[in-house]
Amino acid sequence: MNEKDLRGLFEDALRGEPDHMRPVHEDVARGRALRARKLRQRVGGVGVGAAALVAGALVVPASPLSLIDGDGPDPSQAATMADGAPLAPEVADDPLLRGVWDAVQAELPDDVELVEDSYVYGSRYGGTGIYLSLERDERWFTLTVSLQNARPDLDEFRPCSEPDPKISGWTYTESCDEGYDDEGRWRVIAEEAPSIGRVTVLEDPEAAAMVQLNQPDAEASDQSTDWSLTVEETDAIADAVWTVGSEQNERDLVKGIDLSGTHETWPQLHTALEDQLGMGELTPVTADDATGGEAVDEESGIVANIDSQGQSGSIAARYVTEDGVEVDLIVWQKDRLYDTFCHDRIDSCQLVPGLSVARGEGAPDGLVGPGAMGQLGDRAGMYIMVGTGDTPDPDDPGDKELEELDQKVSSAYSELSGLVPFLDI
């Protein structure tokens, strides 16, 4: 199978995929098998559809659906050309994103080119960054670069030496290194074998940058291959992107949802969830799993832990139908886009945008059933789970009632994601 065949196979697998993540316990457990069978693993975000090739740990989200023939606009009509590169409107119209692209383009090796008919895309999750589908030596790979405001109030990001005990995550990778670079910036780099994905993080008190490299052909074959970009080349890109960020006003790098505002508008989310699921009244369940730092509202069932200054934390509520079926709704936002987020009601933890990894012990207080989870910006996400006890199998449909409920969950996710307010800075 050549590169063209692999790309076609991957894009065929993406056709018709929803823009949200499938039930976590189902996808993570079968990730390897699904990847081998037409790469159907789905990890998505709100807005432009996305997918990911999921292995045990670090993976970068793959091509937007607009790369699929016939599914995207005509680059000659929609794109702005800049030095021969077609820029998607969200990049062409944003001076900061154009600056990011200029920085990346200056560091890309001369023999690296954009895939034919693709764009320089903006972040698929609403953050500050760009996404590229590239070729080198007739080999397709993807590159995602992201910028965020600095968080000098936080300790250095130490996923290698201080991993989260609930997941394998970064330490599952082939290599994971952290430390200060020659410029005094904190640098983290992790690679997943066999040459599947590489993540590079560069942060200091001025800005934070992340570069994600993904090689779909290596993910599909499970065989060792060469890297499309060397460590030195991705380091140079990370340095160039960080430099752009360090020259910006901090406010221009702050992106995300308004978590406090989400808490205030929670009754609207509750009502919309009730309407979309069509399972009758959803009565709040009094939370009994608070760990000490959360604020518990017995009337609404909300368990909230919000840092109003950083707009980080989580909001969770569990409801029950008249028939005794429980439903979870959770919204969260991390301090940094590469921080790990885990919740006792979710059986996976979120690492970088679009990537979840299974918790070793599962979710201590999780439900099982049709569910959806996805990104709300680079740092945030939403989770809906209906605890029927059974999950739909996309490879073996049969339970129409369960399949219909699964579609309602999808609709609920889409509806509720549009109700979450974003920061207006």
What is the per-residue pLDDT across 288-312, written as a single tens digit (0 to 9) for each?
655 556 788 888 889 999 998 889 9
416: helix, strand or coil: helix
Residue 49 lies in a domain: no
Cβ atoms within 10 A of the Cβ of 176, count? Answer: 21
pLDDT tens digits, one per residue of 274-285: 999 999 999 999
Pairing of strands 326-333, 80-82: unpaired
Position 172 scores a pLDDT of: 60
Reported as a pLDDT band with limits 50, 70 and 90, residue 221 is low
The count of structural domains within the chain is: 2
Q: Of 219, 248, 277, which closes a domain? A: 248
Residue 348 has pLDDT above 60, yes or no: yes
Residue 149 has pLDDT above 50, yes or no: yes
Which residues, 6 or more positions from 214, have their beta carbon under 8 angstroms from its beta carbon? 53, 59, 60, 61, 62, 141, 142, 143, 144, 196, 197
Q: Which of 39, 60, 45 is nearest to 351 (CA)?
A: 60
Q: Which of 204, 245, 299, 290 is nearest to 97 (CA)?
A: 245
Residue 199 lies in a domain: yes
Reported as a pLDDT band with limits 50, 70 and 90, residue 92 is very high
Reported as a pLDDT band with limits 50, 70 and 90, residue 388 is very high
Same domain, 232 and 85: yes
For 199, the domain range is 60-248
Same domain, 230 and 285: no
Cβ atoms within 10 A of the Cβ of 174, count? Answer: 15
Position 126 scores a pLDDT of: 75
Residue 107 has pLDDT above 70, yes or no: yes
Same domain, 81 and 197: yes
Same domain, 184 and 269: no
Task: Give the H or E element holding residue 29.
Answer: helix 24-29
The CA-CA-CA angle for residues 55, 88, 215, to 5°, reads 20
Give me the chain's average pLDDT, please.
79
Same domain, 372 and 409: yes
Q: Of 195, 224, 248, which closes a domain? A: 248
pTM reported for the whole predicted model: 0.80
Reported as a pLDDT band with limits 50, 70 and 90, residue 422 is very high
240: helix, strand or coil: helix
Same domain, 237 and 287: no
Q: Which of 303, 188, 178, 171 is nearest to 242 (CA)?
A: 188
Same domain, 204 and 121: yes
- The CA distance from 245 to 129, in Å, is 10
Position 309 scores a pLDDT of: 87
End-to-end CA distance of the chain: 49
Instruction: Output the CA torsion 278→279→282→288 (10° steps).
Output: -130
Task: Give the H or E element holding residue 296.
Answer: strand 295-297
Contact criterion met (CB below 8 Å) for 241 and 104: yes
Query: Can you read off the two tokens belonging to residue 338?
Result: 């590469």
55: helix, strand or coil: coil
Same domain, 107 and 195: yes
Q: How far is CA 59 from CA 52, 211, 351, 352, 424, in A?
A: 7, 12, 10, 9, 31
- The CA distance from 60 to 63, in Å, is 10
Residue 309 lies in a domain: yes
Pairing of strands 295-297, 283-284: unpaired
Residue 268 has pLDDT above 70, yes or no: yes
Among 3-7, 272-276, 378-382, whose mean pLDDT is lowest?
A: 3-7
Residue 253 lies in a domain: no
The whole-number average pLDDT for the span 329-334 is 97
Same domain, 236 and 267: no
Residue 247 has pLDDT above 70, yes or no: yes
Same domain, 380 and 270: yes
pLDDT tens digits, one per residue of 7-41: 444 444 333 333 444 333 333 333 323 322 222 22
Same domain, 343 and 406: yes
Position 285 scores a pLDDT of: 93
- The CA distance from 63 to 133, in Å, is 7
Q: Which of 61, 55, 50, 58 is nearest to 14 (CA)?
A: 50
